[in-house]
Amino acid sequence: MNSIPKQKKQISLSQFIIEEQLKIPGASGEFSALLNHLVYASKIVAREVRKAGLLHDILGSTDETNVQGETQMKLDQYADNAFNQSLKICGHLCALASEEHEEIIPIPSGYAIGKYTMAIDPLDGSSNIDTNVSIGTIFSIHQRLEPSSKAPGTEKDLLQKGSLQRCAGYIIYGSSTMLVLSTGKSVVGFTLDPSLGEFLLSHPDMKMPDSGSIYSANEGNASYWGKEVQDYIAHIKSIEGGKKPKTGRYIGSLVADFHRNLLKGGIFLYPNDTKSSKYPNGKLRLLYEAAPMAYIAEQAGGMAVTVKGERILDLEPKSLHERTTLVIGSKQEVLEFLSFVK
């Protein structure tokens, strides 16, 4: 008799979340349910990204600008709606912040108020949408300051430092769709199987190589950078003494640039403009870009600092859309950068 071929054991994200929940005595399941709502919305966005340009009029920009004065793309708005609709009524959040909304998004009346807050960049890499280049979503979850409170959450609940995140992660809509997250124990990656509509565990324990040969920065801005950053970049490109220069790779979507460097090793820099008034504090937003990526980086053995050398996870956010400089990547590379900081 023919035996049934052995099937490789595949763990879905839903299974993984249940197993993880079982390891925490007394866990209420609230956090697991919150993640499930996030995952559901991410599948809706992934579906739309995959067929952008085909059936729907989803490419291109809208006539609107967001709170930061940036033109909103149609897909920015679509993703923002998909995540908001799913998350604000899920019963596990007390407040939600999104790149696309100036103020916090309250929980609609009649819906349960939970003990978590989420800050989200619904669509990261907007400038790449129309050109079929990888884009992403970034999220950061904190527990509210008074976990037992049933009152609506406030801005204070969201303005907590990155080191206090309960979970952070991103979704990359690339050659495949992947969800990478950490709850503070390790970094795990799941790949969306489009035929099942399920994220399956594909990267059980992601570690960033201790060093790496890739550097990622928008060098078009190099003349605006401070001297320390300019000196560091000149150093890693130098061939003095037979040194091999690093390899430049820059996509312009933080999620995709970070994901590549997480797998291959390297460093990503978004410094501030010291000679123009465009981004005096850097471009990336602390709450929903820098802090969640820094959390993943550290959990994977990497580091994340500002151009002044401060640890990103120690920064105390002062406002929802505050910007920061970001230097993030393999430990040895970030340490080398720090040796250039006065």
How far is 98 from 165, CA to CA, in rounded Å? Answer: 16
Question: Of 48 and 99, which has the nearer Cβ to ligand AHG?
Answer: 99
Reduced to 3 states, what is the DSSP secondary structure of residue 98? Answer: strand
As a whole number of angstroms, the distance between CA 118 and CA 141 comes to: 5
Tell whether residue 198 is among the known ligand binding residues: no
- Give strand pairing partners of 139: 120, 169
When the beta carbons of 93 and 120 are compared against ligand AHG, the nearer one is 120
- Which of the residues 69 through 108 are near Mn ion (CB under 5 A)? 99
How far is Cα 287 from Cα 284, in angstroms, rounded to an integer?
9
State yes or no: 126 annotated in a binding site. Answer: yes
Query: Among 13, 95, 118, 254, which residue interacts with ligand AHG (rule: CB under 6 A)?
Result: 254
Partner from ligand AHG, Mn ion, none contacting 37, C-beta within 5 to 8 A by type: none
Contact between 72 and 62 (Cβ < 8 Å): yes
**Region 270-299 residues binding ligand AHG, contact defined as CB under 6 A:** 283
Q: Measuring CA to CA, which residue among 119, 121, 154 is closest to residue 136?
A: 121
Q: Which DSSP category does 219 fall into? A: G
The answer to whether 257 is a known ligand-binding residue is: no
Site residues (CB under 6 A) for ligand AHG, limited to 55-74: 70
- The answer to whether 125 is annotated as binding is yes
Residues 182 and 35: beta-carbon distance below 8 Å: no
Binding status of residue 121 toward Mn ion by CB under 5 A: yes
The reply to whether 289 sits in an annotated binding site is yes
In the complex, what is the shortest distance from the CB of residue 70 to ligand AHG, in angstroms, rounded to a whole number? 6
Question: Does position 121 bind ligand AHG by CB under 6 A?
Answer: yes
- In whole angstroms, the minimum distance from the beta carbon of 125 to ligand AHG comes to 4
Nearer to ligand AHG among residue 130 and residue 193 (C-beta) = 130
CB of 276 to ligand AHG, least distance (A): 12
Binding segment for ligand AHG (CB under 6 A), chosen from 104-112, 169-177, 229-237, 249-257, is: 249-257
AA letter at 160: Q
Distance CA 110, CA 278 (A): 42
Tell me the number of residues near ligand AHG by CB under 6 A. Answer: 12
Q: Which DSSP category does 289 fall into?
A: I
- Smallest distance, Å, CB 183 to ligand AHG? 24
Nearer to Mn ion, 121 or 333 (CB): 121
Query: 10 Å Cβ neighbour count for 72?
Result: 18
Q: Where are the alpha helices (DSSP H) in the chain?
A: 13-22, 30-50, 74-88, 155-158, 227-237, 254-264, 291-299, 331-338
What are the distances in angstroms from CA 205 to CA 125, 181, 291? 26, 10, 20
Which positions lie near ligand AHG, rule CB under 6 A? 70, 99, 121, 124-127, 218, 252-254, 283
For the annotated binding site for substrate, the residues are 124-127, 218, 250, 283
Which positions lie near Mn ion, rule CB under 5 A? 99, 121, 123-124
